[in-house]
Amino acid sequence: MDKFAYYNELFLIYKDLIKENNREIFDLYYGENLTMQEIAELKGISKSRVGSIIKNVENKLDNYENKLKIVSNNLKLQKVLELENIDLIKKEIEDILKGE
């Protein structure tokens, strides 16, 4: 999964845990595909501040995912759905629930 897809996926799940202003800037960058310069001009802040906010939100999203593993578990479950052997399916689901 590329960086943009990864952070868009994390953002969809964890966005309510991000401050509103930071959420807007992050969404403009990852969701609307605006450049940092365009966001800076739109929001009336420096380009370096935009970059700092984006990096901060990326770090928070990574931290949430490292602890909660929602995206990771969703990807594992999608792979389990492709399996045909019921015993293997049960084992894989048990491993996911155990955090393995």
Q: What is the pLDDT of residue 18?
A: 97
- Return the closest-CA partner of residue 63 out of 30, 18, 5: 18
Q: Is the pLDDT of residue 49 over 90?
A: yes
Per-residue confidence band for 53, with pLDDT thresholds at 50, 70 and 90: very high
Tokens of 94: 């048990």
Q: 0.75 cut: is pTM over it?
A: yes
Topology given in CATH for the domain delimited by 1-68: Arc Repressor Mutant, subunit A (1.10.10)
Contacts of 39 (CB under 8 A, 6+ apart): 25, 28, 29, 50
